[in-house]
Each structure stands twice: as structure tokens, then as C-alpha cells.
Structure 1
Amino acid sequence: MSSNPVSLRRRHRAGVLVLAAGVVVALAGCSANAAADPAGADDGSVTIGAAANGAATETTLDVAADPALHDALPADVKASGKLVIGVGALPAGFPPLAFTGDDQKTLTGSEPDLGRLVAAKLGLRAEVSNATWDNLFVGIDGGKFDAGFSNITVTEQRKEKYDFASYRQDELALQVPADSDLSFDGDPSVLAGETIAVSSGTNQEKILLEWQEQLAADGKTVTVKYYPDGNAVKLALDSGKIDGYFGPNPTIAYQNRQSAGGAHPTKTAGTYSGAGAGLQGLIAATTKKGSGLAEPIADALDELIEDGNYAEWLRAYGLSNEAVEHSEVNPEGLPLDNS
């Protein structure tokens, strides 16, 4: 990766990756009172998709801690020996991203699992704590959480208060029945004559309604439908009342996995940036501005990309179509006028 701009961050770091002796990954909690975490182990391994109830293919990954990254951590984090990871999944959770597992205690999902992998790479224990969405940011502000791993989109407004290390593309997806011929590559003209469901008040609704206006200007139509919840959307899709559903890619990936082998399987017909045309939205680890954690986390993510554990993590959750080539510190975010 010598040609990659991320290498400029690494000139202060020496040598090859070394498995640090005595790295402890395991002690992560699902609350402020940390308990032994079934997703981690003292030998540096992290179990992806533990207790995920079918949301992921359970996979145990071996993580080689990098002592140079550990040395680059802020003094207080290094002294604590742990990375306190905040997740905003209360009260109900949002599979496959973050939710309480089928053992009723493990905070599982792609987001806390990636936090565990990053902590292991940094030579730290992962301590995972669940909160409401609002309290996640309060916790970062007040120093309760070192970093938020919770499907947080980078925005220019958030960059005024937080530093970011990106790790996934922010993608929306078009979900269709598995036997549908509809294929979507971001060109709204393919939606002409179709009936598409979307959730009210969301970014994807804003984008879909813009496409509806564009098509109308060309004398074409796309019918937009609304339903009260995901179950109602699925019933409408199964019965042919709608041709597709436009929603968050991770949610749709999870629903596709859950429907596989059933009477009405679904698939993804295509994806589209959550930031809209002209900008690829990014999901990122979120730290307090000036904390000094964003760069070590970004470097840890890059090493996870290089050693293959990142790809295994995405594959386990069916999110390979959201992969990034490298982590960016404070990348361009959704503009202030995006709502």
C-alpha cells in the first residue's frame, strides 16, 4: 500500500506486525459494568457474530496486536489498557448492526464486533457499553466512551465536534423478490412504472422523492408507498403489492439472509450512496475532537483490511458491498444543507 495516501500516517511507525505478548481482548461488557465478553478471548481472538441468531455467520478471527499502534495511543487510553466502545442500540437494537444476542446478554452485531477487532489490534481490552442514540454522543462528549461504533454517518456538522475514522460505505439498497428482473445501478429511470416502498421521514425517502420528480419531468412515474413497519413492507413485497423497498443496505442484507430458504426470499437489486449523487457517504468510528484516537483507530482499521480480518468481518454479516479500501481520518461528510 505504499502508493496509498494512508501510508503517510504510518511513517512514524516501524516494523512488521507483531503479536504482543499478554494482549487481553476479552473483557467487554454489554453495560457500564463490564463482564466477561463471549465475543473475545485472552489469546487475541475475536468471535464475529457470537449469539447473533442468524444475523451473521459465526466466525472466530485471530488478531495480531501491533505494539507500535499501542504506543501511539493517548496516554490515558494506554494506561487504562482498554478501549471503551459506545453503541447506541437501546432500547430494541437494530440487527444486523447492533442488538442483544440470543443469549440475552451479549451485545452482538457488526458494529460492536468491529470495535472488538480494533481494540485487539491496538493491544487493548474491548469494553462495550450500550446506550440510547442520544446518550451515545453524550457519553463520547463526557469521556464515558472512547469511541462510538454505531453506524454513525460522517457529516460536516458532526465534524465540528468529533473526529472520525471511516470503515464502511454508507449505502442504501433496493430490495426486491428473489425472482425479480429489476436491476438498479443508481439510474432512477429503471424505476419508471414501478411501485416502491420507503420509510417516511428518512434520507432514502428524500432521495426517492427527488427521483420521482425527475421522472415526472420526463413524463414517467414511480409510485411511492408507505407502510407502518418492516413486517408490513415484507407482506406487501411478498404479495406483489409493491415491486421493491428502498432502505438501509445493512437492514436489507439482514432481511435477505432471514428470508433465504423461505417461501418468499428477497435479494438486493442494487445500492446507492446514502449521501446521494456526487458523494459517497461513509460510516465511521467516532471520537471526541482532539482526543488523539482517530488516527490510531484508522491505522488499526487499515491493518485489519491488510490482514484480511476486515473482509471476513464484512462477509460474516453480508456487508461486503460496503467495503472501503482504507480508513480515512475526517473524510468529507454530508454537507450542512443535507437533511
Structure 2
Amino acid sequence: MNAEPFYPIGTPGTPWGPAEVNQWRAQQQVQRSYAEDVVNKIERLRERFDVEQYGQLDYGTDPFPLYAVRSRNWDDQLPSVLVTGGVHGYETSGVHGALQFLDRHAGDYAGRVNLLVAPCVSPWAYERIHRWNVDAVDPNRSFVSDSPAAESAALMKLVAPLRDTLLVHVDLHETTDTDESEFRPALAARDGKSSEPGEIPDGFYLVGDSEDPQPQFQQAIIDAVAKVTHIAPADAKGEIIGSTVVAPGVINYAVKSLGLCAGVSNARYRTTTEVYPDSPRATPQQCNDAQVAAVRAAIDYALAQQG
């Protein structure tokens, strides 16, 4: 029997209080720059797109402006598409895949769709390469009323005017080896629960909405991404991260009840991408390219259904 992983903060079986959260926060070190990596790239997009600051995170000495990029000639008669990245700040290709899509491919859709892209929803966590925000809260479980995460609340406010009219929403994520080595044990420790070992899937997969799964939409994305990087196989139980595989590379979650970003709107077509950057079979550029391929395939499929 495997011993439960030891997490060095808190008392096993007891949820964290403010002291434990403060101890955890003190251990988080800046490892990269949101301003240099992300904001600089967004600034260079101003010549072609409308850039807006939709909020600011005021975390002590670390104010983080939150930026979204919009189609310059927004037309309410066109279908609208939302792309989100960096809801989990450590998931690098979500951020840089969104920026790469804007820089290299968004122009292909001018006059066909309105684009709204939030490339880095969680900049504090981006800098610290972490899943949680400053309060040890997971933004991707916080897209709920009275959200405990300022990052999630700001994005919900941005999206609210489009909530019922969006055609597509693609939320860009990664599944990494640190999910198993750090983040799941940390979650168990934070919540005073036991940590059950899991298996990290090797490859790309999608999380659809179990309430509205849109299997043909998901398949179109898988087909496109398979040309860029490999698709994650099911494990011996026919599952990926504990959920039944409903089609190659596809699982479903109840996105709204779980407070996931993919449930932030009532878009007709919704999906969450999951790239595996730690695979020996994938490079960082392939991961970015896979995210871009997913966004493009999602938009192309939705437009084709529009006729």
C-alpha cells in the first residue's frame, strides 16, 4: 500500500486556516514576469485590436492589471467567440497559445466573428507557476455567484453582457506532472482530506460539458489537434483523470455546477483543452500550436454549422 504523500503545511485531516494559508503564500516565489511575458505581447497587439483593462488584482505590493483583447470592428450582427487562457497561471501554453492565436490567426476571422480573448486570467499565479491565487483559492472552481476568487469575478463581469449570445468558448488549460506531485497533495492538505494517487495522461484531451456535450464539436477539435500532437489514451479503467472517456481524447464534466471557467457563459459550443507539456513527445511550441489548432477548429466547426 502506498503511503499518503506528506504535505509540509498544516495538520493531516484538518483544513487550513489563515495561518496555514499565510505560510503557504510566503513560500510562493516569483519565477517569471507577467509584464514581460504577457503584457508586452498584448501591447504589441494594440495596432490591430482593441485592448481593454477589465479589472485589476491588488495583492499587496503586486497590482496586476487584467487585459482582454477584442476584435477592432465589433459587429453585433456577427457570432462572438470567447477564448480564455491562464485561468490556472502555471499552465503556460494556455496563455501563450491564446497570444499566438491572436498574433498569427485572429485576422483570418475578421468580418466573420467577433473575438474576445482573455490571455492570462490569473497573473499572480502565472508569475509563481501555481494553480491557486494569492488566497490559496482555485480560480477554476470559482466561477460562481459571490466568487471567492477576484480573477474569476472579474472575468465573469467582463463576459456577462455576452453570456447568452456567445457562439463559442474555448478555455485553454494544461495537465502537468506537478498536478500529481504538488497540486493534488496541496489540495488535500488545504481541505483536510486524504490524497489519492492518480495518473497523469500522456497527451492532449478535451473536457466537454456533461449537460451539453456536443460530441461532433469535440471530435472536430480532436481531429485538428491530432495533426499537431498526440491525443491522450484512456487508462486501464477507460478513464482520463478519473472520468470516463466518452470518445478518444474526450471526457465530460458538469462545468457549471463545478464552477469551471467553461461554464461562464451559455455559449452553444464550449470546451476545455488539456495539453500535456511534460510529455517527452511534445515541445513547448507544439503545446502552443495544439492550443491554437483547438481554437481554430472550434471556430471553424461552429461557423460551418451556422451555414
TM-score (normalised: structure 2)? 0.28
Higher CA-based Rg? 1
Greater helix share, 1 or 2? Answer: 2
